[in-house]
A and B are shown apart, each in its own frame.
Chain A
Amino acid sequence: MSALPRLSAIFLAAITTLVAVLLYSPLFVPIVSSFFTISHGNVDWSSPTLATYVALAENHDILAALRTTLIVGVCTVVLSVVSGTLLALYYHSRRSGRSLLQFIIFLPFLMPPIISGLALLIFFREIGLERSLLTVVIGHTVFVLAIVYRTVLMRLQSMSRTLVEASYDLGATGWQTFWRIILPNLSSAMVGGAILAFALSFDETMITILVTGTQSTLPVRLWAMMRLGFSPDINALVALILMFTVLLCVLAARFLIPRQVATERT
């Protein structure tokens, strides 16, 4: 697709710039306001300040919500990586009913979150499970399972069968092969899947709103605060979260792009 006429190249570049501006303008607002005071839509550029970051450190309500979000994220990651890996191994071992199983795993990811969330809400009520952090973790795990499962399965399918066959030829048992050949080969896919799962869980709002109890996660807390308008320290939090998620994203890319390709490109 080389040698574009100059005019169309300029047109395409202009649209791309427009898209980038559209995508980044909502991010720009909170970041700018975390360093400068904004009143009535006018930015006061003259006096940059870190006061919002100091205020954030004293906002116990938000910090508690952040801690809850991290706890939920870690539990979700552990549950989804363990079950996602086991389910991927099950699918890969060509046992019965695997297509049906895969369909069920993908359902919550394909359906709108409001449907998965409401279905779980009614389910918890029917089995008499009080809404709490446990129900939030279950909701998140069900939602992110498909991503972890898919990531691990893709690695399994691209793994050469000869590795496993060589292991058996050399007299290793099934367990030895699993622990010493299969699992090490899957580890980077599992880490990549874990990072994706954490990122999804960290920002999950719609399912969480429906199944959460009294302790709310950060997005739900922000959602509740939004009706009244945010205090300036929220902007500081947003700026920090953005930096953190970009870091996560770079890490995920590192683990998910196979090493040969990565070295080719650098």
Chain B
Amino acid sequence: MSKADSTLPAERRLSLLVTVLAFALPVIFVLVPLAIFLGYSFFSVDQGTIVYGLSLGNYARFFTDPVFLPVFWNTIVLCVSVAIICILLAYPAAYFLTTLKGRWRYALLMLLLVPLLMSYVIKIYAIRSILGLNGFLNKALVALGILQEPSTLFVFNMNAILLTLTLLLIPFAVLPIFLSLERIPQVLLRASDDLGASGLQTFLRITLPLSLPGVASAASFVFVLAIGDFLTPQMVGGISGFTFGRILYSQFGTAYNWPFGAALSVALAVVVIAAILIGERFGRNRGISV
């Protein structure tokens, strides 16, 4: 805290020591592992042992093998769809919360966020039993007369992954949208009303544009969480629901090719970083500081 004495050699040495100590843990346990991981993506595997020679073979395989790029692309499309559905459900809910007053607003917000605390694995299991051939959803659809007999449309395939991820990730979309809606100054809405705009006009020209940063953050949250998940596809995807996370995970299990898995992780990281940057770019609050 005493800046005046920092020219003294002892003080300076102490200050350097503090800096080194502060950096030690994050660098050793975050930066070094990530650097080694990146290095691994240039190695290769020969008969079950890792060859420590640099090559671009893993990346060449990723881009040329007919399996990986389509799965990669399909997974991105899947996760974008999850983000869109989450937002379509979360936006009206978040908007409804902001129309409530005082305690009710926060009580209901809590209500929508509490399911986050519930065990992830148990939720996947429960959703799987709801979606199954004998599950609640099929029973309800048959009972309502929508279906003649139980459908396999959402049993162990991509649709099942889509629905499960959506159910798991909605709260992550509600929170940022709620926060951005809540920050909109009420005076703007009243001014719009005073100037004769209809409710719909006020929504389309004031509320919606000002809440878009929250929507962007929500989309990037949901997308990043969905694309990194390998448990949900493994559990509800069956044979046809093959996602990038699953392929990546299998490189460290059954396929046993750590260097290739590392290269796939780099591809995943690139997409995630892009999503975060896009979310950050559009997630800034412009023009709200009235």
Is B23 interfacial (CB-CB < 8 Å)? yes
Give the chain B neighbours of A1 by CB distance below 8 A.
Answer: 95, 98-99, 186, 189, 207
B residues near A174, Cβ cutoff 8 Å: 1-2
Residues of A within 8 A of B15 (CB): 95
The minimal Cβ–Cβ distance linking B26 to chain A, given in whole angstroms, is 4
Query: Is the Cβ of B228 less than 8 Å from the Cβ of A115?
Result: yes
Interface residue count on the B side (C-beta < 8 Å): 82
Instruction: Give complex CA distance A255, B163 in Å.
Output: 35
With a 10 A CB-CB cut-off, give which of A41, A177, A209 has the most chain B CB atoms.
Answer: A41
Contacts of A11 in B (CB 8 A): 92
Residues on the A chain within 8 Å of B174, using CB: 19
Considering only residues 169-196 of chain B, those with a C-beta below 8 Å from chain A are 170-171, 174, 186, 189
Residue of B nearest to A94 (CB): B3
Q: Are A122 and B167 in contact (CB under 8 A)?
A: no
Please determine whether A249 and B114 come into contact, CB atoms closer than 8 angstroms: yes
- Chain B: CB-nearest residue to A248: B117
Q: Mark A15-38, 1 if CB is under 8 A from B, else 0.
A: 110111011111101100000000
**CB atoms of A27 and B103 under 8 A apart:** no
Chain A contact-residue range equals 35 or more
When the two chains form the complex, which single residue of B22, B95, B103, B245 contacts A101, counting CB atoms closer than 8 Å?
Answer: B22
Closest to A234 in B: B122
Q: Is A123 touching B99 in the complex (CB atoms < 8 A)?
A: no
SS of B interface (majority): helix
Q: Which A82-117 residues have C-beta < 8 A from chain B?
A: 83, 86-87, 90, 93, 95-97, 101, 104-105, 107-108, 110-116
Q: How many A-B residue pairs have CB under 8 A?
A: 215
The CA of A40 and the CA of B136, in the complex, are separated in Å by 10
- Does B282 belong to the interface (CB within 8 Å)? no
Q: Are A119 and B37 in contact (CB under 8 A)?
A: yes
Contacts of A5 in B (CB 8 A): 199
Q: Which residues of A contact B248 (CB under 8 A)?
A: 114
Tell me the residues in window 255-278 of chain B with beta carbons closer than 8 Å to chain A beta carbons. 258, 261-262, 265, 268-269, 272, 276
Contact A23 B30 (CB under 8 A): no
Interface 1/0s, chain B 101-116, versus A by CB < 8 A? Answer: 0110010101110110
Kindly list chain A residues whose C-beta atoms are within 8 Å of the C-beta of B265.
114-115, 118
Contact of A123 among B33, B106, B111, B261 (CB under 8 A): B33
A141 smallest CB distance to B (angstroms): 8
- Tell me if B136 and A41 are in contact (CB < 8 A): yes
| Cross-interface CB contact of B102 among A18, A245, A265, cutoff 8 Å | A265
Instruction: Assess whether A19 is in contact with B89, with CB atoms less than 8 Å apart.
Output: yes
CB pairs A–B below 8 angstroms (16 shown): A25-B136, A41-B134, A95-B15, A104-B23, A107-B34, A114-B245, A115-B37, A118-B265, A119-B34, A122-B258, A122-B262, A123-B32, A145-B26, A203-B119, A242-B117, A249-B114
Top 5 A-B pairs, shortest CB-CB distance: A112-B228, A123-B33, A26-B126, A119-B37, A12-B96
A5-B199, A242-B118 known; 10 new pairs, CB 8 Å cut-off, are A1-B99, A1-B189, A19-B89, A25-B126, A26-B122, A26-B126, A90-B18, A95-B22, A113-B228, A209-B231
